[in-house]
Amino acid sequence: MNFSAATMFSANDWFSSSASAGVLTTPVIVLDATEGIGEQDMHYAQLVRFLDLADPIVLVTNLDLIGYEQDQFELIQEEFRDVLAAINLTPSFFGPLPLGQPDLIPWWREEGSTSATQQSSLAAVPPLRMKVVSSTSENGTWAVTGYLLSGTVTPGDQVMSSPSNQKGMVQTVSDSNDGLLKLTFEAPHFVEPGEVISHHEAPPVETDVFRVKALWSGEVLAQGDPIVVETVYGTTHGAVQSVEQIMSPSTFKTISNTEIAAGCLVELIVRVDHVVAIDHIGSHPEAAEIKLFDVSNDASLLAVGHISMEGYADQRHLLTSKAVNTTPIEFAVGERARASRNGHEGGVLWFTGLSGSGKSTLAVELEARLFEKGYQVFVLDGDNVRQGLTSNLGFSPDDRSENIRRVGEVAALFRQAGVIVISSFISPYRSDRDRARHAAYSSFHEVYIRADIETCIKRDPKGLYERALKGDIPDFTGISAPYEAPDTPELVVDTGAKTIEACVEQLVNYVDRNFRV
């Protein structure tokens, strides 16, 4: 058997190496035949599961000390398969050490013609990733130089740059003495330093928010604290948006604490200052490593781990416009004229909150009250919109983001028409709500319909939480998918503390103050 050290991850050695191998592709767990399955072995399995790695290779050593007994090996194999199955893992390979010695282990027969260990050393070529250093133009030829981080590129390849999404066809490829790769293009192709070139069919993710799983080695940190974020593609500033989980490395039990201390396993949501190109553990594990640093002068290392996009969408398609040859027209009736006729300005009241927080109830009641007072008003509700405008979308992170993008643009059109539109959507991602705000400009009012998850579960008007808690509904916000509460909403309506009537009155007063002319 051929083990490639560059692609192996040893769960047994992970802590002692300070997570330096935490993003490698093939996890390996080594069991001792003389000891059976111990608590530490189960912890290693939990570590593989926590890190979202591939199904592990499991090897059993020290069989010589028990006389290469087949029954003992098969007992260990059966018991550890059960351990893995309990945490939704299946070994990709389970075998004895040493491998490939039939004289010592005549009863061992490997399943299949090619083992998982052999396949790991014959892994597919990783996707093209080139970090741009500079762009130049000379005599009608455009050139880009940078470091080739993974993959291959040849003349004629169609490539794109992230996060600018600029595309082009490679004319020539050449190496330079300083270790840089040079690509030339016939068509104008200027790429900013720091961008990442890839083949257009396999680009990195573009996002400003992602999940991090890591071993914490730095000072105590809390939710909201600023950090410096370093990936293989560059460094940027960000913050710990939320602390999802803190686990003891010795017991793998969750620690009830919002402050992260050295030595803990952590799961964080990190938000950076702008959209960046990244790779994650599910797409390109070798490039998913991330380091978090203190923002202080000493810039001490806080954590090493990897990036996961679980629960979050690739924002590339939301940022890329495919419309060409279009020219916006000027309307004969302007927004001021509409406001003068209606007696109020148009605008967007964007209700966001968990399912069961009361968004739809308040939206319907508010619409009726405002209509009685003479307002031009209309409700866009999540369930109603999904019957038509977004009926082709599901509830994956990508589909959720596209759902809100469409609704945000429709709400902006209502605003232009002088209507107060009440948009009632969970809209769990801040980035999506920010795009809706951008579409409506200064007439966007984010209204946080606040109710904690316990209150929403208790209400459960549609029975969705009950089904989600049983696992019948995947990607359910607040249970198996994230909800990012607003940082600075224009208005907070606390339905957990107030009656419906009091909440509606609060909303009516807000509209009277902010929309009347």
Q: How far apart are CA 3 and CA 5, in angstroms?
A: 6
> CB–CB of 211/312 below 8 Å?
yes
250 is catalytic: no
Cα 10 to Cα 4, 19, 26, 42: the distances in Å are: 12, 10, 8, 14
**Nearest C-alpha neighbor of 144 from the set 205, 192, 91, 200:** 192
DSSP-derived secondary structure for 393-452: --SSHHHHHHHHHHHHHHHHHHHHTT-EEEEE-----HHHHHHHHHHHGGGEEEEEEE--
The single-letter DSSP state of residue 254 is B
**Nearest C-alpha neighbor of 90 from the set 120, 38, 48, 142:** 48
Total residue count of the chain as it appears in this document: 517
CB burial of residue 88 (10 Å; 0-12, 13-18, 19+): exposed
Query: Can you read off the two tokens belonging to residue 146?
Result: 């940078």
Query: Can you read off the two tokens belonging to residue 436?
Result: 């809706």
* Amino acid of residue 424: S
| Angular region, 143: left φ>0, alpha ψ -120 to 50, beta rest | beta
Strands (E), 163-233: 166-169, 172-175, 181-185, 196-199, 205-216, 221-222, 226-231
The single-letter DSSP state of residue 225 is -
Active-site annotation holder among 427, 431, 442, 480: 427
> CB–CB of 485/448 below 8 Å?
yes
* Residues labelled catalytic: 427
